[in-house]
Each structure stands twice: as C-alpha cells, then as structure tokens.
Chains A and B, each alone.
Chain A
C-alpha cells in the first residue's frame, strides 16, 4: 500500500512529459523569432507564472521580441503599477534585452503607455516595425478605428513591400467567445484593407482564452488573451474554431522561416497546448474575397503534435 502511495506521489511530482515540453519550432539561425502575449497587466501570480515560463523557454528558443495584445495594465497606471504589472513579471526578459512591442487595449491609458519606452510604441497609438527584411508587424489601436488610422494603415501597407504582414491589436475580428464575440464593426473596416494588401496573420486578445481560428478569407487569426486572465467556459466552440482552450493560461512562440510561420502555444506550466505552421503562398491576384498572399487553408499541425485538447 505504502509502495503504491509512494509511486503515485512520484508520478504526480514528475516533470511534465518530455513531449509536452519539447520545442516544436525549427529554431533556425537567422529566422524571425518572437513571442506573443495578451491581456497581461494584472500583476497577479498567473501573469508571473507565464512570465517565468517565457523566460524558461527563451533559454531553448532565443526569441528577440514579444508582442503584447493590449490590456497591458489593468486598473491603476501609477509608476508602481508599471513595475508590478510589467517590469517585474518580465524582468528576466527585459534584463536580457528582449524588446516588447505593445498594442493598446480598452483598459490602457494611451498617453501613458505610448510614451513608456519599454513598450516601443514611439509615442504612437498605431505603428509598425520591421524585425527583418520581408517581415513587418503592425500594431493597431482597435479601440478607436478612426479615419486617420485607416488612412495610415492603407498607406503603410501600400508601401510596406514586406512578404509577411502581421497585424496585432486588441479586439478579435473573429471569435467564439460568449462574453465578447467577433468585433464585427472593426472587421467591417479593417478586413477589406487586410485583403487588399495581403495581410497574412492577425493576432489579437480581449477574450481571456486562446483560440486558433480557421483561416478566414485566406488570413490566419489567433486570439491569445489568456496570458494573465482566464474566462473559463467562455469559449463556445463554433465553426470558426480550429482549436480553443479556455482552461489554461497561455502564451505563444512564433518563428518565421522563409514562407512558413511556425507557432507553438504553451500553458503556464510549460506544456504545449497547440502547435502548427502556416505557409504563405506566392502572390496571386487579390479579390474582395481573398487576400493576395493567402495562407494555406488550414494550419498544418507539426508531426509531433500531441493532439491538443479541445476546450469543449
């Protein structure tokens, strides 16, 4: 009996299965490596746990920057809040020189955050940056999609010249969330511009869960708003859902190698919950229905994928 108990305790305390902790990204020299987090600014233990995992994974996968999906600081935004809700949870990464690029959420004070240098927003509500030739990321302010922002986006995309055009902002244009759901009004304005210029991938937050959306009109969509907050049971799996998880805190690792973008989604315990890749095909004629640089219709799971659990 004692022996059985001992074995049970031993099994429970064993580290996670090796397969779940494996890096599923190519980790190739010279590739674009980054992480994605969303809805982080609680300062709570779950944010800290995710921050710790990010730092641990970086020892194996040296990502150069992190993109933040907004709601970077909930509640107060006093100097001590910047420390408690950002600087401390990600201290090892900041100390290692990892750059963070923030988008604004509906809980963020734009004037404070866009001037906070560690968020790398250059004082702007919306901006873009190019980590490497051929790849450009665009941070939008989905709280306030006004004519000025749309004109800026149109101009930026028209002159971008990058093969990979990745958008990140707060409100998901497609979502199976019960609380919020798809941001259809923003979609009505943004999606035509994305299609016109061949945007490949859209990363968002707002919903406190992880959802990989089936590609919509050739664009891959991810929701990652569970890096510090969870809304358990809020993800009602729909026709949009390729995979969803509203039970675990999560962050994503991404890698762009040539025409392929690899992703791995990991929970706060370091366990992989989703993985796959997206292939960008050559330029084709764009229409109102599809992007000029479509991704493959379905994200391709890695061969070693353990088979992610569906939330429902």
Chain B
C-alpha cells in the first residue's frame, strides 16, 4: 500500500516537472525587444499591512493527466481549472474588500480614488504571497496560446496585432500584485481574441501588452497574473 502510494507521488512529481519545464522554457524567453519587466512578489510600493487573509489559490497540478485518468477532455479540464482559480480569486476578493469603502458614484473624484486605493491595498494584502503562475499555470498558458493562435493568422491576425501595437502602453514594468501604472493607456483587446478566451467576471479583464497576456482587477487596478509570449 505504502509502495503504491509512493509510486503515485513519484509519477505525479515527474509529470508535474515535465509540464512545468516545457512551459517554463517559454516563460523564460520573453521577447527580448519587449520592455516588459516581469517579476513576482515584492513591489517597490509602500509596505502593505500584514495579510489578513491567506491567498486561496489552488495548487498547480497536471490537469491534463488528471483529466485523462477521469475521462474528461483535457482542454475542458484546463479551462475548468482556470475558472476554479478565478473563482478562488473572486472569493478571496469578496472577503478582502468587505470592509473597504465601496466604489460608488459620486461627484468627487477624490472619493473614488480613495475607495479604489483602499480596495487595491486590501486585495494586495490578501494576496501578499501571490506569484507569477498562480492563475496562468503552464498548462493554462499553453491552452490560451492554442486558443489564440488561429486568430493571429490572416487578415484578422494582422488587424489584431496592429490593434495591440496601437496606443499600447510602452516601457511598462509590472509585477504580480502590483498596481497597473497610473496614467498608462489601457490597451484595446482585439475583439477576435477576446471572444476566444473564457469570459471573466466583473471587474476582471484581460489585457494584452506587447506579446503578453495580463489579468487585471480593473476596479482595483491590480495586476493579478500574466502569461508571457502568448502572442506569436
């Protein structure tokens, strides 16, 4: 019994390492021309209050292998895994901002900014341990590349790439759990790419900067995760 359990653990570890390695090689080769600086963990912004809530991010697992074992289509399982991670973030978010002032309509932009900053601080504190790949796991990143790849060919593909370049923010340095830079333009997400990605709950949005896919909490202006070189 103990031996069989050990074998399962060993097999999982091998498959986990294989998946991560194949994708990590992509992640470690961002476009050299891209000014994007991707780092996780610490931010250069003021220290946040101690985390009150632990990030409830599901562990990275070889979803495709699990799906095979349970006779679920691997692609469906990966998308479901992404949704589970988004749901986990939304749950964490709900808890984190429950005591923060709400974003509500007012004539005073200072009040909106204060509420946004407070919300942002609470979310970042709750995700203090968040790191690159917590949401965009290697499997999810690979799956999204495959979803978008057909849309990047032909005339529509050329249009999509032109839109990404058009008015895109440049020289953005961002980090997981950091704030989206204030005053930076919001890149338009090509509609043909967007409809091929899973629908996100409000207020989450995908953004494409250079060749990279970024997941942001739009209300709090917080970068939740990013997937490198999603556009080829």
A: residues with CB less than 8 A from B are: 75-79, 82, 106-112, 115-118, 122-123, 142-148, 171, 179-180, 183-186, 188-189
Contact = CB atoms under 8 A, between A and B. Distances in A.
Given A79-B110, A111-B219, 10 more contacts: A76-B182, A77-B109, A109-B182, A111-B103, A115-B106, A123-B103, A123-B105, A143-B189, A185-B159, A186-B191
Interface in B97-118: 103-110, 112-113, 116
Contacts of A76: 182-183
30 contacts: A75-B183, A77-B183, A78-B109, A79-B108, A79-B110, A106-B167, A106-B187, A106-B188, A108-B186, A109-B221, A111-B203, A111-B219, A115-B103, A115-B104, A116-B105, A116-B107, A118-B107, A123-B104, A123-B105, A142-B188, A143-B188, A144-B188, A144-B189, A145-B195, A146-B194, A146-B199, A180-B166, A185-B156, A188-B191, A188-B192
Interface of B: 103-110, 112-113, 116, 156, 159-160, 163, 166-167, 182-183, 185-192, 194-195, 199-200, 202-203, 205, 218-221
A76 B195 CA distance: 30
Nearest to A181: B162
A185 to B, nearest CB: 4
B191 A112 contact: no
A107 B200 CA distance: 22
B93 to A, nearest CB: 14
Given A106-B185, A106-B187, A108-B186, A144 B167 contact: no
Main secondary structure of the interface of B (DSSP, over half): loop
A106 B186 CA distance: 5
Main secondary structure of the interface of A (DSSP, over half): loop
Contact of A112 (B113, B166, B202, B205): B113
B194 A144 contact: yes
Contacts of B218: 110-111
Contacts of B192: 185, 188
Contacts of B156: 184-185, 188
A110 B189 CA distance: 14
A188 to B, nearest CB: 7
A147 B195 contact: yes
Most A C-beta atoms less than 10 A away, residue of B112, B113, B190: B112
B191 A82 contact: no
Given A115-B103, A115-B106, A117-B107, A110 B188 contact: no
Nearest to B112: A115
Contacts of B219: 111
A148 B221 CA distance: 20
Nearest to A105: B186
Contacts of A180: 166
Contacts of A82: 109
A231 to B, nearest CB: 12
Nearest to A147: B199
Contacts of A115: 103-106, 112
Nearest to B189: A144
Contact of B116 (A112, A117, A142, A144): A112
Nearest to B198: A147
Contacts of B220: 111
Contacts of B107: 116-118
A179 B165 CA distance: 11
Nearest to A183: B163
A145 B182 CA distance: 23
A268 B185 CA distance: 27
Contact of B191 (A117, A123, A189): A189
Nearest to B110: A79
A110 B112 CA distance: 11
A115 B160 CA distance: 30
A116 B107 CA distance: 6
B188 A171 contact: yes
A82 B106 CA distance: 13
Contacts of A108: 186
A3 to B, nearest CB: 54
